[in-house]
Structure formats: structure tokens, C-alpha cells
Amino acid sequence: MGRLFKQIHVTSQEKAFLQNGYKYGESAGYRLRCQIILLKSQDYTTSSVELITGCCRLTVNRTVNRYLSKGFAGLATKHGQGRKSILDSTDLAVVKLAVQQERQRLKQAHKMIEENTGKKMSQSTLTRFLKLMTAVTNE
């Protein structure tokens, strides 16, 4: 005799919210968690949800438990997840100065920033930070 699986009952409003999150959610992880809850609410087994979503049994069960204990807040990505950025707002003045002095030579600006901040980084990290800076200043 197999184990009983947890059943999730959702109202039509909750289902609409989950479908919206599945289609238009900001992160891929959030969309996946919404899909898992939608599938489990349609009485799919954990094994079936595993096959459909491509994630492991542990992920499915953790998502279900988080949803049952915390509701929709349990589906959101927790603050502070992921790798912390090397450069932040405290390094903004150093980066601006180095880029202004070495506009045509990003490698030289990169060396200056590493010397002044004491932080080791790749040139692509600096490029991403510069793109982020320009996006923020253009808004």
C-alpha cells in the first residue's frame, strides 16, 4: 500500500492567482513553484509533478509544505537568496572616477578599481555593474 499524498484545495480566486503567477511571475523559480501548486491542486501525484516539471521530489514536497504553512507568501523567493554582488553603491564614486579617467581603456579602469577598492573581480563584472549604473541613471 502506497503513501497518501497531500491534497491541496484551492478556490477559484487562488487558482487564478496561481495561474497568473505561473504565466507572468518575475522569476523562473516563482513560476515553477506556482506550477507545482497548480498541479498538486489538480490531484497529480508527486511523481507525476516531478516528471512534468523536471524537478526532484524534495523540491516538490518542500514547495507544497511551504505553501500549506505560509500560503502565497511561501511561494515567494526569500530575500537574500543568490550570490551577493562584488560591487555595490559604496563603490560607485570609485568606479565613476576610474571610468571618467580611462574612458577608452576599460582594462585600465578595471585595474584602477581593483587597486582602490581592494576587491578582485572579472572585467565582465565591471561591465555588468556599468550597465546597471546606466540603467538606473536613465530612469
Q: What share of the chain is helix, strand, coil (3-state, %, to 5)?
A: 70, 0, 30
CA dihedral of 117, 91, 93, 122, whole degrees rounded to 10: 70
User: CA angle, 7 as apex, 4 and 11 as ends, to 5°?
Assistant: 170
Q: What is the pLDDT of residue 8?
A: 87
pLDDT for 19-63, tens place per residue?
Answer: 999 999 988 999 999 999 999 999 999 999 999 999 999 999 999
**Cβ-contact 106, 127 below 8 angstroms:** yes
**Cβ-contact 30, 75 below 8 angstroms:** yes
Q: What is the pLDDT of residue 68?
A: 93
Confidence of residue 69 (pLDDT cuts 50, 70, 90): very high
Question: Mean pLDDT in the chain?
Answer: 88
Q: What is the pLDDT of residue 77?
A: 83
Query: Among 43-52, 77-86, 100-109, which is the least confidently predicted range?
Result: 77-86
Q: Could you give the CA distance from residue 99 to residue 109 in angstroms, rounded to a whole number?
A: 6
Q: What is the pLDDT of residue 135?
A: 74
pTM reported for the whole predicted model: 0.62
138 three-class SS: helix
User: CA angle, 133 as apex, 129 and 138 as ends, to 5°?
Assistant: 150
